[in-house]
Structure 1
């Protein structure tokens, strides 16, 4: 349709053509020869070939919903990573929630980011499944395209593809091609980007491609408080990739690859609106949510993600064989304190407590989250992509070993010193058998059938603790200001050697054993900590003699306070230590049926039914090593009717596609914060679920369960036309309804049962709209190229996108207790908004090896919530990227 590179977004519906401005000259330059498909053979730059069905085909000929965004197209308008896909594809929502990438497609997704959680939209990197996509944003360099498969992909992509899949496809080595490039970019927020690539032929049958990337920029936040210690969303990232392709014969292809990603900076804390909402401030009156009051210390992110893979293909006489094996290693380590509040007039007065503003700013309550994941995948597939039978049979195996840690400190607390989840042994395994076939009944009519059986197993061993030492005299007026977590504090993490505090095995946990357990979880106390001093010369280093002045008498390993003649008071332990022992096993079957008919070579009709399952699992134990309740898999069944059409309007070629879809979303898993007593009652009472004697019924834990069934339906349309003067116009439109039709009452997890028992009760959510599902979504793109004889080529792209109102939690902002005067802190509605992007490029006269580009992303600086977390004490909001702009130059050699 176009003499320049275009991103056709089809699927029964989509076409969002972000033009490949950086490649606009490619058809007339040597660069075109360097574009390689996955076999290392040259392709035309205006062909959009995808591997949605595990084989190469044109998007416009694919009977289903998919999106292809080329790497150059994304870069042309300033897209940096996967979270920037938010708002660019109708039905797709991507949010960076504290470093966790949450992907929702047409309302199907998951926000359970624990070691037990699974995404509902599977992320792949060159076809390799990524169970934990942290850090993968920095893989967005030297990429051929990003494929977004919309709708369940259970038979084709396996586990946890309930909503669909996102596949990042890199450029492969090109045979018999010497090619290299270097690119440098400068932007606002002191952004500096460098990336380079070299493709080296090794004889006539082999080649190697090496690519590297560096990105750094200052924080998108502005620290306007007195502390000025540093805030979130600064980045300093590096990545590299090497791939080796060897084709010793025309039948055998061996592709080996390895990559390394390192992300550092200050991560993603979000902005907590609890302070302004609690002081009657309208969030809409806060002009910039990233102008915040910081405290304590700057957040610190350290992510390492690397992997290796092998792909071997053999072209046989009767069928082809493909083996793919991979190993991925991820360490995500994030330590942070959250800002106290966004800035608004008078905010400092609200933060001034009894000890003055300085004491508020000097609170080192913090958290550290560590995910250490090693995963392996193996897939063996037998297939034939030549008709009339196109078929595929195979087996898949996945294994993941995790270490997971979450720790927090409660600085300056008399009754709370923090929590610890320390899980040294978290294992997951999954295997599947699958088959899929398409048969051409006639030259114009085809039918498809697919079936996949999957079995998942999960297990976990570890410990969870909530530390609550009652540090005070009998009237609790003695010895306030207990410090923990100050400068230099380090959790022991993986270095913990005591998992069970009952070290003598007598069945009773003494206060001394509790204290020893606590100290074992700390490798170093902070310079101004005094918990170690309170407990009289604890075994952990760190800190100076910081004993509170009234601690003038020490008895054994505990302390007493006799200052001012008050009664001494021992140190009882009011928290809980739970052994975590859980496992689950679940199996499920996915299938699909499809019929497609070519009315003409340019007009396609199709209908399909497809299913997808998201793996089930188990919860935290009820009490110390008590029952770990399990939950079943979620299931989505998609029904879709669509038509794809290419035609001429006069001499102008055009495209118009459309589809109707309906998703039956069953056994939807919701996660609540419930007290042990509520969980026991929910599961049938104490007769059905005995609670260990040493467990607190008031303790609040996270609890996931199959709670609802929903329906998701709508229509999508996309179109495009090639206008005169090399102008391209593309649009796409989605109408979406996603609502709960049947559900058990669920606990209002915006409230905490041990704090607000009258509000943390079960409520009906029937009829509620699913989170992150705008009713209307629209995108439009205008492109044009100006080739000249003397000045080279100029080109531009202007993109516009609209999202109508949507909610970010299942409660849709409803205040059940005060329906006529709802509290602002429960409001999770995001108002509708437009976004605009633009890019400009110039290729000087010559051989096209020099290229200049400029871009602006989010032209109008529209900043809106991508995710909102509402709890008893927090209303934390994560926002889309602010306006960014920059310029780059690229040289090819």
Structure 2
């Protein structure tokens, strides 16, 4: 019998790591033979993780981490990384228009541009992913997902201020023939398949091949007259092959390659601007995914593949590890956003002078392309035995990107779109590090780690805002100017003119603007007429849809004064800016830790750890003018914790706890600001003279060091093995995250050229950090019923709770109307519960046949995962609706 009194005192006194869902559950499905040993664990058996770059029991890890087994995730219908939202206290995962945003205890980043970096580093089989888009479909044939909470600066390297998420796949097994196939059907016409085969090659080598397919209809529904396809339909394929060779007992070579292809309709979110403008309470909108679609069906095409080599050698004095990888990502998304969610009277509110048909026939759209090729190399020397456990290494990252964002402004008189075209975006990162743990006694250990990192970034490209003045003198005609209709194609990377000043005379003429614009379009749409207006430029496409008065041409102007119609067609100037920027930044991360074994089952620890997220630079102000820089963010974590296992009677139990405090300095905010707002933020025209070629109205993504914050709280997790094969576990987080000191910042929910009295400096002191519910709770109940004649029945029931939280730094405050706040500014997400369940049956026999059913989000709670608020938008991205299905698995 263990020392219960000591265990309970330790458990109640201090703070705790979060195994939470980490335990493998008796209700989980039997796995292929290579996985059988792990799947037979009870709830409280050890979970082996590689949090500190070595295998160890999660219960013996002196810090906060979570390990979610692949079978546990699948049992309740988890499909991809975004479904981790709500499953781990402190972890927030949102799919923001296809960009995976991960926040851990309030530390994260919403800068999804080519210049941005995540604050929570994502790894795939230990390889760092600078752009995690498209990695969601890698959630097949996985052993576990490790979530390391808190700065990992000396352990996992680059940009891990919040923590890390590591997806760990099953590796080949030596001397094992094994294969499995699984078929699944579900609601929304979901169909899924995954298979695996493990083939031994002699006694020293093996290959493991796994594949996956998932498709389902849209979670959205177009209930408007247009009848177009809408967001969140998927048709994905993925494959992975790994080769393991161990020619000697000391040498291991693992080669792997994987491929993911995601297609479908992507993630547009739902724009609430219309109902909020009409005074509609969002709570009165029953289903935010029932929308009024327009124009055309969104189109997503993502390809993400990679190859890696992992070599280890067990030496006499120390071990050596070398990892090399290459990743290639192409994310290409073209979409129009729905006009509005459905509510009674919405069609009447959307109907303009030209009728509802004209409103729906608006091809204002956007296309976003991220093309990233990254290489990593890491060489590490280490020793995991003896009183001194140490690691010394070097890390190198090289990333080359092409980035494109284009939009069309259909049916506009003065705005025809935006283009950011960046053919040359380069990042390199170098780091050297050391980390060691020394056993002073058999029960007392100390740890110290240090890492130096140097990041360099550079970019070359062009940014443009196209605005052509088209209309009559009274602005009452020719609003039918069209661009972006069926068949329209941006030139993208095929653009040949980057600098519109083609004659190099120092000025950009109206003709050069026209030539530049046409060079950015590879084909106009079938009903476009902007090419006809500007003299049928050299781009194919278009149709004879010219406004009636375009037959009379006078110089650069079309003059139709006789019939009172089109009198001019003049391009605005000062809308095209060369983007040339670079930055170099270095920083040091470190950690100190002490841990003490009160008994073999009771651990006390205290640690201090730091992490930095790289700084960078912004878009140029003016034509290749100032590119404002920002410094690295820094998080310093202070944590006290205790981990304890003990018995209550004959029942094995676990209780862990931790107290933590994060000092979050130089916090970077990213927002959409106009040039006018940026100049004012930097000290006004007296400090940053506005270039003569700059458009004050041009809106760009802008990042800046804005605040220092404090994040503190307590975390508890526990579990118990109850009679009748019942397992119960829970985790609870209390979290406070608030700004303690900040500059006054521009209210970037407004544009200076539209609402100059609202887009002014405001205080965010005392505001709660986004995505930080004060209370977060998760619980799992599992049970297995083995029978002699019917085989085994089992189930898992999961519950989760999140209290209220905000999604922007302004916390929904209306500075101009504090007593009557406008709903458009509301970014609060009300507290909610979620419930998931999984059921399984293994028929009598050798366990090679398995039937399962699941329901994810049982009560169909749909809540905002992210909200984007701008001058004209209140766009919300939501958690997955209720899904359910059944699957059968056959093991050969």
State whether TM-score is above 0.5.
yes
In 2, Cα distance between equivalents of 1:13 and 1:528: 71
Q: Deviations over 1:486-537 (max 9, x none)?
A: 0000000000000000000011111000000000000000000000010112
In 2, Cα distance between equivalents of 1:427 and 1:11: 49
In 1, Cα distance between equivalents of 2:4 and 2:539: 65
- The alpha-carbon deviation at position 72 of structure 1 amounts to 0.5
Instruction: Give 2:588's aligned residue.
Output: 589
Does the C-alpha gap of structure 1 residues 312 and 69 become closer, same or farther in structure 2, counting only changes over 3 Å? same
- The SS at the match of 1:854 is strand
In 2, Cα distance between equivalents of 1:95 and 1:734: 20
In 1, Cα distance between equivalents of 2:100 and 2:157: 20
Does the C-alpha gap of structure 1 residues 249 and 729 become closer, same or farther in structure 2, counting only changes over 3 Å? same
In 1, Cα distance between equivalents of 2:30 and 2:215: 31
TM-score normalised per structure 1: 0.96
Q: Is the 8 A contact 2:792 2:843 kept in 1?
A: yes
- The alpha-carbon deviation at position 30 of structure 1 amounts to 9.7
In 2, Cα distance between equivalents of 1:93 and 1:287: 24
In 2, Cα distance between equivalents of 1:125 and 1:393: 22
Does the C-alpha gap of structure 1 residues 351 and 803 become closer, same or farther in structure 2, counting only changes over 3 Å? same
- The SS at the match of 2:469 is coil
Q: Which runs of 5+ in 1 are unaligned?
A: none
Q: Is the 8 A contact 2:665 2:707 kept in 1?
A: yes
In 1, Cα distance between equivalents of 2:263 and 2:777: 35
Q: Is the 8 A contact 2:19 2:66 kept in 1?
A: no
- The alpha-carbon deviation at position 573 of structure 1 amounts to 1.5
- The alpha-carbon deviation at position 46 of structure 1 amounts to 5.0
Q: Is the 8 A contact 2:255 2:308 kept in 1?
A: yes
Does the C-alpha gap of structure 1 residues 309 and 299 become closer, same or farther in structure 2, counting only changes over 3 Å? same
Q: Deviations over 1:708-732 (max 9, x none)?
A: 0000000000110000011001011
In 2, Cα distance between equivalents of 1:467 and 1:230: 28
Q: How does 1:105-120 map to 2 (within 5 A)?
A: 105-120=104-119
- The alpha-carbon deviation at position 689 of structure 1 amounts to 2.4
Does the C-alpha gap of structure 1 residues 609 and 310 become closer, same or farther in structure 2, counting only changes over 3 Å? same
- The alpha-carbon deviation at position 31 of structure 1 amounts to 5.5
In terms of mean alpha carbon deviation, does 24-33 or 576-585 score higher? 24-33
Does the C-alpha gap of structure 1 residues 267 and 5 become closer, same or farther in structure 2, counting only changes over 3 Å? farther
Does the C-alpha gap of structure 1 residues 725 and 40 become closer, same or farther in structure 2, counting only changes over 3 Å? closer
Instruction: Give 1:560's aligned residue.
Output: 559
In 1, Cα distance between equivalents of 2:294 and 2:695: 33
Does the C-alpha gap of structure 1 residues 28 and 283 become closer, same or farther in structure 2, counting only changes over 3 Å? closer
TM-score normalised per structure 2: 0.96
In 2, Cα distance between equivalents of 1:26 and 1:778: 22
In 1, Cα distance between equivalents of 2:710 and 2:315: 45
- The SS at the match of 2:347 is helix
Q: How does 1:176-191 map to 2 (within 5 A)?
A: 176-191=175-190
Does the C-alpha gap of structure 1 residues 78 and 752 become closer, same or farther in structure 2, counting only changes over 3 Å? same
Q: Is the 8 A contact 1:255 1:312 kept in 2?
A: yes
- The alpha-carbon deviation at position 475 of structure 1 amounts to 2.5
Higher-RCO chain (CA-CA 8 Å, sequence separation at least 6): 2
Instruction: Give 2:658's aligned residue.
Output: 659
Q: Is the 8 A contact 2:224 2:293 kept in 1?
A: yes
Q: Is the 8 A contact 2:18 2:64 kept in 1?
A: no
Q: Which runs of 5+ in 2 are unaligned?
A: none
Q: Deviations over 1:71-119 (max 9, x none)?
A: 0000000000000000000000000000000000000000110001111
Q: Is the 8 A contact 1:711 1:741 kept in 2?
A: yes
Q: Deviations over 1:596-626 (max 9, x none)?
A: 0000000000000000001000011011111
Q: Deviations over 1:637-681 (max 9, x none)?
A: 000000000000000000000000000000000123333233223
State yes or no: 1:412 paired with 2:411. yes
- The alpha-carbon deviation at position 545 of structure 1 amounts to 1.4
Does the C-alpha gap of structure 1 residues 32 and 544 become closer, same or farther in structure 2, counting only changes over 3 Å? closer
In terms of mean alpha carbon deviation, does 569-578 or 72-81 score higher? 569-578
Q: Is the 8 A contact 1:5 1:19 kept in 2?
A: no
- The SS at the match of 2:10 is coil
In 2, Cα distance between equivalents of 1:357 and 1:28: 52
Instruction: Give 2:210's aligned residue.
Output: 211
- The SS at the match of 1:156 is coil
In 2, Cα distance between equivalents of 1:9 and 1:885: 43
Instruction: Give 2:696's aligned residue.
Output: 697
- The alpha-carbon deviation at position 557 of structure 1 amounts to 6.1
In 2, Cα distance between equivalents of 1:762 and 1:167: 40
Q: Is the 8 A contact 1:11 1:66 kept in 2?
A: no
In 2, Cα distance between equivalents of 1:227 and 1:331: 30
Does the C-alpha gap of structure 1 residues 664 and 332 become closer, same or farther in structure 2, counting only changes over 3 Å? same
- The alpha-carbon deviation at position 702 of structure 1 amounts to 2.5
Q: How does 1:53-92 map to 2 (within 5 A)?
A: 53-92=52-91
In 2, Cα distance between equivalents of 1:887 and 1:844: 16
Aligned residues: 892
- The alpha-carbon deviation at position 704 of structure 1 amounts to 1.2
- The alpha-carbon deviation at position 36 of structure 1 amounts to 8.9
Q: Is the 8 A contact 1:4 1:24 kept in 2?
A: no
- The alpha-carbon deviation at position 555 of structure 1 amounts to 3.8
Does the C-alpha gap of structure 1 residues 374 and 590 become closer, same or farther in structure 2, counting only changes over 3 Å? same
- The alpha-carbon deviation at position 19 of structure 1 amounts to 12
Q: Is the 8 A contact 1:467 1:575 kept in 2?
A: no
Does the C-alpha gap of structure 1 residues 884 and 846 become closer, same or farther in structure 2, counting only changes over 3 Å? same
CA RMSD after TM alignment: 3.4
- The alpha-carbon deviation at position 48 of structure 1 amounts to 1.3
In 1, Cα distance between equivalents of 2:7 and 2:20: 8
Q: How does 1:803-842 map to 2 (within 5 A)?
A: 803-842=802-841
- The alpha-carbon deviation at position 543 of structure 1 amounts to 1.6
Q: Is the 8 A contact 1:478 1:561 kept in 2?
A: no
